[in-house]
Structure 1
């Protein structure tokens, strides 16, 4: 929805920053919370309830029935400053959260379904009811009827997500650096009215960027509602799902169309053109293994425990005719035998794989040293040729690290070379080269074509890059051996 009209003086960014800092300081004092991985979810669902209360107030203005029963609405318990200590904790833990988790409706689009999904896995880990009251009082200072507060809070929330990503370590696989997200969205050339999906949406980075890109064009409530409905996601893990819902809500989407489910199972079960979408923007998980029931749902030729292959196959099927996709894939997804080769064959036969962007080493540090690529394709017919473009770090740098991440400006030369939506007037340079589809097919659909202007001098390549390539190869070998072992067990 469009930002709500102001009802009081707006809170400055400095004040909101102080509110969030005070909230985090309060949470640090509670023995039940361990680090930002505990604190940010708690802050998220409280912010969600606070913002939802603003929507409830708007519904009342128009004479609509409340979604949440009056006794459980934010104002009924959060605004009672004397309601604190053990009584407050007892209410939140045994009444409020179970009530919200049980909300559901048979009516499509009913906000009760959103609330039920958001709170299905939520727990309150705070042990002190008095500290919980202090935390609630801080959040009461945010005015979700103020457009300035909403926009500022969205900005601050993005910063909190980044900090949590930095603290997440191995749990941070669902994060994609903002410069990569922005570049992928811009080079997909989104149009208002298109359905846009991320089947592994994490905390909602691609969805927020797509929404931000298109919202200025959505003039009027009809176009805005259409845009709300066209921004869609699926997220399997409860923590990023909660963060995604809060992220989208803060950015102005009142009832985000994000499903808490295993997207591979969802896409297997969906059939027909009505389930297809126009655009997919995603960074699916890779290097992991899916459960047998998911793998067995795929056609025999494409069965694999490597999630990258399963997602790529599913994405191709999910796109409607003429649909477009920008996807992050690990380096080892470009080569290898078995199911991977069959998925690449499917990709080149059904889609125009027009561009592969080779990312430098360390873009996804510290979460993985594995090199990654950005694949851009359209479901418009078989590939005739594929252009490659190699992004290089700034002079004097061999790669990136957590303390020295990639910047958006480093995509500018590639964006200028791209040639707009029609990819017109592309030329070969020392960083861009063209490979005919026939050459790819002759190499058993191997997409790993090196820059022809550079010698593959192992002695001068960064050690981190060599290690990353070795890890990629090991993942490929392990996936093949695991698949072979399953086949042997099945035939025994």
Structure 2
């Protein structure tokens, strides 16, 4: 289904429209269509619904569509509708192309798709966008296998405030909600629902996040704003924070920074890290994806790490394979920590799992799937959440324990390595024989799928 919707983008390629622009435009259209299918059109003003758009038979369909977008963004009663359509711009430049896309969406048998299925289709579109629009789309898309792994080990709980201050398209919040809904009964969930909060700085991405939340039938308070400024005042002290802050400093702002940050820096990852450990309730947990430089940067970087380890128990670091994000050279880690009940000496020991050394080159042919994280999930265990040290026999070639004193003696450098990263980019080092054969089969299937998709695109272009 996602492939069918994605193929419609080919209609617009001749107008120079990027995949990233298409997914944003698709959000406008899908919201109208799905509101019709699931009976929620009452949130839309009369005359500004899907049927009003597709039934238009005048000569200026594009102008009619633009007027609809403007009205929905300014006059709809629903706050979510106004936010999704706020400051709308359309990438269509010809009514004929708009008509082809409308007819294509209208031909899909939406009534056969469950609510969960709608969310999965939209996430598949976002994932596809991150693959094909490396120039920028991947910056807000965290691979689903990694998101689900992080959620599985931090174990969200009923009644918790669960926050993502750099929410992107909402992947962490949606995965946390899925984990809880599969862990408890509907009655238990409704009796003590979690409170989901998020913040996203980029308006287009914020729009995608709202749509993603809507399609997953979630209740979440997601705000447009910068968590590194006073915008963060709307975020509650959290029981659980999950985040993948944007890489680099491209989001630098002239606005005043947070007065409760101990250290002023131009490094946005260090600022986000301060927000996260200061935003936790005592006993609150966090998992945050950060680039390598946060682990070893001197000066303020070291001071932030010291404060982190004083205020929180930094119990686990997961070294991630390279190339799993849009910027292929970026090396990243996941830091797992728990806020203490005092402000000194909370970190006693830290376990580091090296998933980077000997890892395969992930991409279209070798997808990052949950199987690569199975050993990490098993060894992570329940010990950090139970406030009991991990037993030493859990140690392995990839999983090592380091004391706070060892870090201090090394200048509080957390970038500890004991395996050679170039020991083998060959995946054989990570997989058993039966998994190797399965990998070969999956690569063949991926190659066939690419050929079939290319064939479908040719058929589509010939039929136009």
Question: Structure 1 residues 129 and 398, CA, compared in 2 at 3 Å: closer, same or farther?
Answer: closer
Question: Structure 1 residues 148 and 311, CA, compared in 2 at 3 Å: closer, same or farther?
Answer: same
Q: Output the CA distance in 1 between the equivalents of 2:13 and 2:253.
A: 41
Structure 2 equivalent of residue 99 of structure 1: 71
Structure 2 equivalent of residue 259 of structure 1: 223
* 1:417 has 2:379 as partner: yes
Does the CA contact (< 8 Å) of 1:200 and 1:284 recur in 2? Answer: yes
Structure 2 equivalent of residue 51 of structure 1: 34
Q: Per the alignment, in what secondary structure is the counterpart of residue 357 of structure 1? A: strand
Does the CA contact (< 8 Å) of 1:102 and 1:120 recur in 2? Answer: yes
Q: Output the CA distance in 2 between the equivalents of 1:41 and 1:261.
A: 19
Structure 1 equivalent of residue 430 of structure 2: none
Q: Per the alignment, in what secondary structure is the counterpart of residue 92 of structure 2? A: coil
Q: Which moved more, 1:152-161 or 1:292-301?
A: 292-301
Task: Note the C-alpha offset of 1:414.
Answer: 1.4
Task: Note the C-alpha offset of 1:149.
Answer: 4.0
Q: Output the CA distance in 2 between the equivalents of 1:461 and 1:298.
A: 46
Does the CA contact (< 8 Å) of 1:295 and 1:303 recur in 2? Answer: no
Structure 1 equivalent of residue 286 of structure 2: 325
* 1:67 has 2:50 as partner: no
Does the CA contact (< 8 Å) of 2:154 and 2:285 recur in 1? Answer: yes
Q: Output the CA distance in 2 between the equivalents of 1:266 and 1:435.
A: 37
Report 1:117-136 matches (<5 A).
Answer: 117-136=83-102
Cα RMSD (Å): 3.0
Task: Note the C-alpha offset of 1:300.
Answer: 7.1
User: Aligned pairs, how many?
Assistant: 415
Q: Output the CA distance in 2 between the equivalents of 1:41 and 1:142.
A: 19
Does the CA contact (< 8 Å) of 2:201 and 2:225 recur in 1? Answer: yes
Q: Output the CA distance in 2 between the equivalents of 1:18 and 1:54.
A: 20
Alignment counterpart, residue 174 of structure 2, candidates 196, 208, 212:
208
Does the CA contact (< 8 Å) of 2:126 and 2:141 recur in 1? Answer: no
Task: Note the C-alpha offset of 1:150.
Answer: 3.2
Q: Which moved more, 1:429-438 or 1:260-269?
A: 260-269
Task: Note the C-alpha offset of 1:134.
Answer: 3.2
Task: Note the C-alpha offset of 1:450.
Answer: 2.5
Task: Note the C-alpha offset of 1:18.
Answer: 7.2
Q: Output the CA distance in 1 between the equivalents of 2:71 and 2:143.
A: 36
Cα deviation, 1:281-330, whole Å, max 9, x if unaligned, reads 11101221554544643457411111100100001121112111111111
Structure 1 equivalent of residue 207 of structure 2: 242
Structure 1 equivalent of residue 8 of structure 2: 23
Q: Output the CA distance in 1 between the equivalents of 2:107 and 2:361.
A: 43
Report 1:393-408 matches (<5 A).
Answer: 399-401=361-363, 403-408=365-370
Task: Note the C-alpha offset of 1:26.
Answer: 3.8
Structure 1 equivalent of residue 21 of structure 2: 38
Question: Structure 1 residues 19 and 406, CA, compared in 2 at 3 Å: closer, same or farther?
Answer: closer
* 1:434 has 2:396 as partner: no
Q: Output the CA distance in 1 between the equivalents of 2:415 and 2:233.
A: 32
Does the CA contact (< 8 Å) of 2:181 and 2:189 recur in 1? Answer: no
Cα deviation, 1:456-485, whole Å, max 9, x if unaligned, reads 6x99698xxxxxxxxxxxxxxxxxxxxxxx
Cα deviation, 1:115-146, whole Å, max 9, x if unaligned, reads 222112321121222332332233334566x4
* 1:189 has 2:158 as partner: no
Question: Structure 1 residues 439 and 103, CA, compared in 2 at 3 Å: closer, same or farther?
Answer: farther
Q: Output the CA distance in 2 between the equivalents of 1:268 and 1:178.
A: 26
Q: Per the alignment, in what secondary structure is the counterpart of residue 278 of structure 1? A: strand
Structure 1 equivalent of residue 454 of structure 2: none
Does the CA contact (< 8 Å) of 1:85 and 1:133 recur in 2? Answer: no
Report 1:259-408 matches (<5 A).
Answer: 259-266=223-230, 268-269=232-233, 275-291=236-252, 293-294=254-255, 296-298=257-259, 301-364=262-325, 366-381=326-341, 382-392=346-356, 399-401=361-363, 403-408=365-370
Q: Per the alignment, in what secondary structure is the counterpart of residue 373 of structure 1? A: strand
Does the CA contact (< 8 Å) of 1:359 and 1:392 recur in 2? Answer: yes
Task: Note the C-alpha offset of 1:184.
Answer: 0.6
Q: Output the CA distance in 1 between the equivalents of 2:207 and 2:191.
A: 22
Q: Output the CA distance in 2 between the equivalents of 1:92 and 1:103.
A: 15
Question: Structure 1 residues 58 and 357, CA, compared in 2 at 3 Å: closer, same or farther?
Answer: closer
Q: Output the CA distance in 1 between the equivalents of 2:6 and 2:338.
A: 45
